[in-house]
Amino acid sequence: MDRDATDILISGGGVAGLATAIAFGAAGFDVIVVDPAAPVTDATQDGADLRTTAFLQPAQAFLARAGLWDALSPDDTPLAVMRIVDAARDPAVTRDFVASDISDAPFGWNLPNWLLRRVMVDRIADMANVTLRTGTGFAGMVARLDCALVRLTDGGQIAAKLVIGADGRNSAVRQANGIEVTVKRYGQKAITFAVTHPAPHDGISTEVHRAGGPFTLVPLPDHEGLPCSSVVWMDTGPHIATLAALSDADFAAAANARSAGVNGQLTLVGKRSVWPIVSQIADRITAPRTALVAEAAHVVPPIGAQGLNMSLADMACLLDLAVASPQTLGEPAMLSAYAKARHGDMRLRVTGIDVLNRTSMAASPLVHDLRALGVRALHDAAPVRQRLMKLGLGAS
């Protein structure tokens, strides 16, 4: 049987897999990406990912290194302030975490996920050493001393020095290597949508907390001349199902009641999408000739813009190790260094976000009081506030 050969085989053609392919390709490695489905690159297509991603400073630097940022930056929205509103109390407790306290740059930049896919697919089309194969996926692998032999679902085979699993929370690569995961379920879902509003967002991303989960507004570019934001509304699964079934008019009324008046009257724009909320961490992030990144390794609730930014930190670490010693690509020493550098940080952040989410879900007035006191304490002591913001950006 004919067999293709490459430096790196990536399973998964989502944002994480495409970004990984481009970064390694820009560094001079030969890369093949496989995914059973073609990326959806138009917001109006069925299956379009209508969520947005806030790229924090280290993630933006990674995308710039990969040669992607110039194409993305015309559509980004800077995030200058992270605002926390605890609306479970009367009066509400509001605190602003301002990027200028610790940096000359914004905390990050917000971009639609469907647009990320479009820019990344276009970039791959211009790269001679990166190939995107859709319509086929990872079926299995055998790791040898010098390479991994990967079987594809269309019957093809690829020999790769390194296999990267970027194929999501149900990763086929992870399962093929017998790696278990620890999953925490919250009985939560998130509904995502976009809104326009009369008040400018001024680059402020706002998390409004009551019970059930946060209601988060993230700045977007203007829509038809009006200020616009992306919203992630987390709550119990049954409540989100009820919301998803409402008419646009009734849903808009419910969103305005939940928003605590942030940015004024909210007007629904476009479609709504529903996503399950879980927390998940892989027991290991490496196997022979294999590394896991992104949601194949860790899944967190959408709080604090940590999810994809953690994923890009995985990729940056793996890329640095590969560039420093390309002759050891996929070998045990490289994979051990990756696991040592990333797995502890993954566990720490997954645990921290789990605590934040459980606190946000709580209906107890006592928990609300403690949460409000915590927000005040973390914000009002300047050294603590600045350290917290640096940790949120990924600083150690």
Does residue 55 lie within any of the structural domains?
Answer: no
Q: How many CB atoms lie within 10 A of CB 87?
A: 19
Q: How many domains does the chain have?
A: 2
Q: What does 126-155 look like in DSSP terms, one character per residue?
A: T-TTEEEEESB-EEEEEE-SS-EEEEETTS
Q: What is the pLDDT of residue 1?
A: 42
Confidence of residue 381 (pLDDT cuts 50, 70, 90): very low
Do 41 and 119 fall into the same domain? yes
ω before 36 within 30° of 0 (cis)?
Answer: no
What distance in Å separates the CA atoms of residue 151 and residue 138, rounded to the nearest whole number?
A: 6
Do 122 and 262 fall into the same domain? no
Q: Which CATH number do you get for residue 82?
A: 3.30.9.10
Does residue 345 lie within any of the structural domains?
Answer: yes
Do 153 and 301 fall into the same domain? yes
Residue 302 has pLDDT above 90, yes or no: no
Q: 85: domain range? A: 74-110+185-278+363-393
What distance in Å separates the CA atoms of residue 13 and residue 209, rounded to the nearest whole number?
A: 34
Residue type, 300: V
Does residue 64 lie within any of the structural domains?
Answer: no
- Tens-digit pLDDT profile for residues 176-215: 999 999 999 989 999 999 999 999 999 899 989 887 888 9
Do 167 and 129 fall into the same domain? yes
Question: Hey, CA dihedral for 225, 113, 230, 205, is it positive or negative?
Answer: negative
Residue 94 has pLDDT above 50, yes or no: yes
Does residue 266 lie within any of the structural domains?
Answer: yes
102 with 83: CB under 8 angstroms? no
Q: pLDDT over 90 for what percent of the chain?
A: 59
Which of helix, strand or coil describes residue 371?
helix
Q: What is the pLDDT of residue 366?
A: 44
Q: What is the pLDDT of residue 21?
A: 97
Q: What is the pLDDT of residue 39?
A: 86
Do 171 and 85 fall into the same domain? no
Do 227 and 328 fall into the same domain? no
Does residue 98 lie within any of the structural domains?
Answer: yes
Does residue 32 lie within any of the structural domains?
Answer: yes
Residues 346-361 as b/e (b if ≥16 CB within 10 A, e otherwise) read beebbebbbebbeebb
Do 90 and 197 fall into the same domain? yes
Give the residue-averaged pLDDT of 50-58: 81
Do 124 and 241 fall into the same domain? no
Do 298 and 192 fall into the same domain? no
Q: pLDDT over 70 for what percent of the chain?
A: 89
Do 176 and 43 fall into the same domain? yes
Do 201 and 267 fall into the same domain? yes
Question: Scanning the structure block, which residue is given the tokens 């319509």?
Answer: 135
What distance in Å separates the CA atoms of residue 35 and residue 54, rounded to the nearest whole number?
A: 24
Name the pTM for this structure.
0.86
Look up residue 5 and give its two tokens: 């050969």
79 with 109: CB under 8 angstroms? yes
Does residue 67 lie within any of the structural domains?
Answer: no
- Tens-digit pLDDT profile for residues 340-375: 999 999 998 888 888 877 777 665 554 445 445 455
Do 313 and 246 fall into the same domain? no
Q: Which CATH number do you get for residue 154?
A: 3.50.50.60
Instruction: Locate the DSSP E strands across the chain.
Output: 4-11, 31-35, 52-56, 77-79, 81-86, 93-98, 108-112, 130-134, 138-143, 148-152, 157-165, 181-196, 204-209, 215-223, 226-236, 267-282, 286-287, 290-292, 298-299
Query: At how many degrees (to 10) do helices 15-26 and 307-324 cross?
Result: 20
- Tens-digit pLDDT profile for residues 97-137: 788 777 788 888 988 888 899 999 999 999 999 999 999 99
Does residue 250 lie within any of the structural domains?
Answer: yes
